[in-house]
Amino acid sequence: MTVSNQTTSGAGKDILLEVRGLKKYFQVKTGLFKSVDLKAVDDVSFSIRKGETLGIVGESGCGKTTLGRTILRLEEPTGGDILYAGESILHRDMNEFRDKMQIVFQDPYASLDPRKTVSDIIGEAMDIRKMYPNKAERRDRILELMELVGLNQQFYNRFPHEFSGGQRQRIGIARSLAAGPSFIVCDEPVSALDVSIQAQIINMLEDLQKEKQLTYLFIAHDLAVVKHISRHVGVMYLGHMVELAESYELYKNPLHPYTQMLLSSIPVANPDLSRSRKRIRLTGEIPSPLSPPSGCPFRNRCPKADGKCAECLPSLEDTGSGHLAACHHL
Amino acid sequence: MQTLRYIIKRVLLAAVSLFVIVTLTFFLMNLMPGDPFMSEKATEENRAILIAKYGLDKPVHIQYLRYLENLLKGDMGTSYVLQKGRAVSDIIRESFSVSMQIGLKALGLAILVGLVLGCIAGLRKDKIADNIIRVFSSIGISMPSYVIASILLIVLAVNLNLLPISYKKSGGWVMPMITLAMYPACYLARLTRASILEVMNQDYLRTERAKGMSEFVVVFIHALKNSLIPVITYLAPLTAHILTGGFVAESVFNVPGLGRYFVSCISSRDYTMIMGITIFYSALIIVMNLICDILYKIVDPRIKFD
Amino acid sequence: MKANILSLQNKISPEDFTPLPDRFFAEAGTETEEIGYWKASWQRLKANKIAMVALGIILVLIIFAFIGPMLSPYSYEQQVRSDAGLWPCLKHPFGTDRLGRDIMVRCMIGTRISLVVGFVSATIVLVIGSIYGSIAGLAGGKVDIFMMRIVDIIYSVPEILLIVVIKMVISEPLDTLIASTPAFKGLQRIGSGLIAIFIVYGLLYWVGMARIVRGQILQLKNQEFVTAARAMGCKSGRMIREHLLPNCVGQLVATAMLQIPSAIFTEAFLSYLGIGVSAPMASLGSLTSEALNGITSYPYRVISPAILISLIILSFNLFGDGLRDALDPKMKK
């Protein structure tokens, strides 16, 4: 994986998705005529190679969901650029890319139209593109997709309310696969599910990735889930990417104080190990994104914060061997 | 601060509405075929004189501006036909005081009966009392006011001979009052019942009970107070209903009120009177709406208006 | 424990804690047959006895109003001099008026007018209100604010007054238009009075519907399945047709249904004041007001139209309530 902070750096041939300095600001009304920018995603850059997974973690409200949606232009970006297979998607009709770039949603209940049958939900992408004018072919293709995600064929004409959360999420995954995408944003696909189901869904996503050479942007608030599936992991805080490294490296050697805190908050099953581990407690709350601290966004919760942190924003820099972190105290 | 902003917004909106109504009625009146003197047994010459006298020969926009100007001074012009030469504002003032006497009584009766029945039904859900009240209130909101008036006439005045048909005799106000109060009382009873049932299921009441509060305190101090909030919003349409209901009740029982005047102005094409009464009624209803909305906002801070 | 009349506590008995019988569990597994939205709504509606009785009455009233006059030996304007002023009897079940017209036939025609007014007005309100509301809701932003301000203003206008004024203004030009334009010949029988009422409905009454539709659209627009459809590449037209409308159609139908009694109310009111349908056409409102003069000696002339109008409104109210509960269980009070 190549991370390009300088937008000019040459992208390797096998890079599928590249994000350069992406910004998404929302205008929030605070008074009759006043409004403030809410910087949900602020200057985020990364790239993902074909067939790999980039995990994004962060507390709720850090902008990770907005990042995923902005990449698919479900929200229009305020600035920056998004390149799919080397081509900017911002200056073209997004519908040309929709069959290649897909999303699996967090909430398996709200994301399925309650008035549509399973077959119509899965088949929607094909219907929009008129991929199968022949009814029998369409049916076969939908059944094939259902089998792929482990749904029984007899559910073909059922409605979403008849299913459990895990089954609904399978429907959602089948839907995202319908148009034959190569890149999928998985927006916390398992956080609404029971723990026992989580593993099934994650394993299925992994199998699908191998089988179809899929590229994932996997968003989660849980480091443990991300660790399992991702090749690389990025940590977000208040709209900023604060650390980005290979999964193994990040877990073994977290550099940013925020990542260290997040990692030490993962419960460990082994009590001996748990006791011997040095814990750094995550104190305080995420500040309101409407009035973030000056300089480093993390400084009001950071044990290492000093005058420099209040003055300027640390940039995301390579500390060697592709491990990037944004902190003045490295 | 937010409340103040809301109030300012609502007042402005009310002012715009009123202006729209004034403008609309004025131009509609002008579109109306014929003039108020067509029916008079007057020569062409006399008609021309009358038209000139009331300024009806001037261009429409000049008439409109003059009407607006006079309206701001409280002058709604004079009646052309019905009570020739009298100021419209005087006629309205006089007849409205009659309407208001009955209207206020009806309002009081409707609120009293509606709330009491609604509370009984709500607190005794699915018991006999509740079922009886629900059946009667369903029927009550389905009867047009003229049906109620006719039934009252037949039963109370004709068959039982309890009350006089004419308004002028003593006790003549009772039947118009019941006619006016019937629909709002039934509607209020339904509204209160629904509202009480909703409040009764809230967790904070369960908490009160768990704290050991007596059932009396729970019901009368906590439940009723909160279930009456939605009822406030109904007060504005209630007033509107009692006003327009006056059209029928006053005609049937021959009450010399504003509603009956409105009905007779329509048939006699008394332009200035129709406009005057329409504007007066509209202003009244708009102001009532305004007061209720603001009250509601103050009483229930949860309500957010976009 | 002393029984408290104001007690709202559930009466709990030990039987409430006995295990459920086996058949309860046996049946739970087999209930997998697919039930569509409409079928489920119909089942809920069927379970509501009051609503079904109301529906039955409405059907009977429709037969009474549309087939009844064909079976009657009299027509609504036919004056049988020898039968003038009869009390209800075998020949004239509702009696006759002072011109010798059969009151039952006149009531049938009046019911027909009430029903037509109700259905047509509800349709007008449904069409205009949902188009306007969905445009405002979908457009959002400044367009939405501007459109909803207009709605606010119309909403605060006391409609009965404006109906009276507008009706007076448009009645006569409408008459001449209908008489002079051959294309409108068919409308002559309906009468300008009724058309005026429809026009007024189209101008004023749709605002309530527009507000509801806009609210629904705004709510749906933020649902994740709409975002999901967008991610599939779904364009606006398909979005409205396939996702937004099917998800709020139940509430629209229920609201439109409750519009019917209010329209019937208004028509009866206007006809009673003498500005609704024009003579010799009969409306339940005008029948009552005609009969009121002789109320001391002929109360029966008032009673039949009065009972009919109340019955119509009552059954539509009850059926509308039931339909709303069935189509949209969330709204149930």
* Minimal C-alpha gap between C252 and chain A (Å): 15
pLDDT at C131: 86
Which residues numbered 231-290 in C keep a CB inside 8 Å of some CB on A?
231-235, 238, 242-243, 246-247
Same domain, A248 and A216: yes
Q: Is residue B124's pLDDT more than 70? A: yes
Q: Is residue B40's pLDDT more than 60? A: no
pLDDT at A235: 92
**Percent of chain B with pLDDT strictly greater than 70:** 84
Q: Is residue C126 part of a domain?
A: yes
Beta carbons of A81 and A90 less than 8 angstroms apart: yes
Supply the mean pLDDT for chain A: 84
pLDDT at A223: 80
- Residues A117-127, mean pLDDT to the nearest whole number: 87
Instruction: Give the residue among A18, A74, A19, A44 at the shortest CA–CA distance from A187.
Output: A74
pLDDT at C191: 66
pLDDT at B50: 66
Q: Is residue C94 part of a domain?
A: no
Of chain A, the end-to-end C-alpha distance in Å amounts to 22
- Residues B127-154, mean pLDDT to the nearest whole number: 84
Q: Phi, psi at residue A20, to the nearest 5°? A: -120, 115
Radius of gyration of chain B (CA): 24
Q: Is residue B267's pLDDT more than 60? A: yes
Q: Which domain holds residue C189?
A: 59-78+110-331
- Residues A61-73, mean pLDDT to the nearest whole number: 89
Q: Are strands A183-187 and A215-220 parallel, antiparallel or unpaired?
A: parallel
Of C333 and B228, the one with more pLDDT: B228
Same domain, A76 and A126: no
pLDDT at C332: 41
Same domain, A56 and A95: yes
Q: Is residue A202 part of a domain?
A: no
Same domain, A229 and A160: no
Q: Phi, psi at residue A89, to the nearest 5°? A: -90, 0
pLDDT at C138: 81
- Residues A101-108, mean pLDDT to the nearest whole number: 90
What is the C-alpha to C-alpha distance for residues A225 and C31, in angstroms, rounded to an integer?
36
- Rounded to the nearest 5 degrees, what angle is found at the Cα of C135, between the Cα atoms of C130 and C138? 115
Of C281 and A120, the one with more pLDDT: A120
Which residues numbered 102-161 in C keep a CB inside 8 Å of some CB on B?
149, 152-153, 156-158, 160-161
Q: How confident is the model at residue B157 (pLDDT cuts 50, 70, 90)?
A: confident
* Minimal C-alpha gap between A112 and chain C (Å): 5
Q: Considering only the beta carbons, identify the residue of B142, B146, B252 that sits closest to C314.
A: B142
Q: Is residue C83 part of a domain?
A: no
pLDDT at A28: 79
Domain of A315, CATH number, reads: 3.40.50.300
Residue B72 CB coordination number (10 Å) = 8
What is the C-alpha to C-alpha distance for residues A218 and B24, in angstroms, rounded to an integer?
60
Q: How confident is the model at residue A60 (pLDDT cuts 50, 70, 90)?
A: confident
Same domain, A272 and A294: yes
Question: Which of these ranges, A102-111, B192-201, C83-92, C249-258, has the smallest mean pLDDT?
Answer: C83-92
Give chain C's domain count. 1
Give strand pairing partners of C325.
Answer: none
pLDDT at A217: 92
CB of C265 within 8 Å of a chain B CB? The answer is: yes
Same domain, A299 and A186: yes
- Domain residue limits, chain B: 88-270
Question: Which of these ranges, A4-8, A91-95, A298-302, B281-285, has the smallest mean pLDDT?
Answer: A4-8
pLDDT at B251: 79
C166 to B28: CB separation less than 8 angstroms, yes or no: yes
* Minimal C-alpha gap between C148 and chain A (Å): 19
A175 to C228: CB separation less than 8 angstroms, yes or no: yes
pLDDT at B252: 80
Q: Is residue A199 part of a domain?
A: no
Q: Is residue C158 part of a domain?
A: yes
Residue of A nearest to C239 (CA): A128
Same domain, A84 and A117: no
Same domain, A223 and A305: yes
Question: Which of these ranges, A31-35, A262-266, C195-199, has the smallest mean pLDDT?
Answer: A31-35
Same domain, A212 and A281: yes
Domain of C68, CATH number, reads: 1.10.3720.10
Residue with tokens 């232009």: A73
CB of C34 within 8 Å of a chain A CB? The answer is: yes
What is the C-alpha to C-alpha distance for residues C184 and C199, in angstroms, rounded to an integer?
15
Q: Is residue C236 part of a domain?
A: yes
B143 to C303: CB separation less than 8 angstroms, yes or no: no
Residues A195-223 pLDDT 10s: 888 888 888 899 999 998 999 999 988 78
What is the C-alpha to C-alpha distance for residues A94 and A88, in angstroms, rounded to an integer?
10
Residue with tokens 């087999």: C30
Instruction: Give the residue among B181, B182, B180, B173 at the shortest CA–CA distance from B254.
Output: B173
pLDDT at B283: 84
Q: How confident is the model at residue B54 (pLDDT cuts 50, 70, 90)?
A: low
Residues C284-316 pLDDT 10s: 777 777 777 766 667 777 788 888 888 888 898
C333 to B198: CB separation less than 8 angstroms, yes or no: yes
E strands along chain A, which residues?
Answer: 15-29, 35-49, 53-57, 79-84, 87-88, 101-104, 183-187, 215-220, 232-237, 240-246, 317-318, 324-325
Q: What SS3 state is found at A149?
A: coil
Q: Which domain holds residue A175?
A: 107-180
Tokens of B125: 């859900």
Residues C238-289 pLDDT 10s: 888 888 888 888 778 878 888 888 888 888 888 887 776 766 677 777 777 7
Beta carbons of A227 and A233 less than 8 angstroms apart: yes
* Minimal C-alpha gap between B142 and chain C (Å): 5
What separation in angstroms does the CA of B45 have from each of B33, B42, B51, B82? Answer: 20, 8, 10, 22
Q: How confident is the model at residue C5 (pLDDT cuts 50, 70, 90)?
A: low
Q: Is residue C66 part of a domain?
A: yes
Same domain, A87 and A126: no
Tell me which fold the domain B88-270 belongs to: MetI-like fold (1.10.3720)
Q: How confident is the model at residue C27 (pLDDT cuts 50, 70, 90)?
A: very low
Give chain A's domain count. 2
Q: Which of A141, A161, A180 is the last residue of a domain?
A: A180
Beta carbons of A232 and A3 less than 8 angstroms apart: no
pLDDT at C20: 63
Residues C100-130 pLDDT 10s: 777 788 888 888 888 888 888 888 888 888 8
What is the C-alpha to C-alpha distance for residues C296 and C298, in angstroms, rounded to an integer?
6
A105 to C37: CB separation less than 8 angstroms, yes or no: no
**pTM flag (> 0.80):** no
Same domain, A56 and A119: no
Residue with tokens 């079940």: C93
Give strand pairing partners of A47.
Answer: A18
Q: Is residue C190 part of a domain?
A: yes
Q: How confident is the model at residue A184 (pLDDT cuts 50, 70, 90)?
A: very high
Q: Is residue A203 part of a domain?
A: no
Q: How confident is the model at residue A183 (pLDDT cuts 50, 70, 90)?
A: very high
Q: Is residue A320 part of a domain?
A: yes
Instruction: Give the residue among B247, B248, B202, B250 at the shortest CA–CA distance from B224.
Output: B202
Question: Which of these ranges, A324-328, C47-51, C88-92, C239-243, has the smallest mean pLDDT?
Answer: C88-92
Q: Is residue A6 part of a domain?
A: no
Dihedral, CA of residue B167, residue B171, residue B173 and residue B175, to nearest 10: -100
Same domain, A161 and A283: no
Residues A217-270 pLDDT 10s: 999 887 878 888 888 999 998 889 999 999 888 888 888 888 888 888 777 777
Of A134 and B165, the one with more pLDDT: A134
What is the C-alpha to C-alpha distance for residues A313 and A299, in angstroms, rounded to an integer?
10
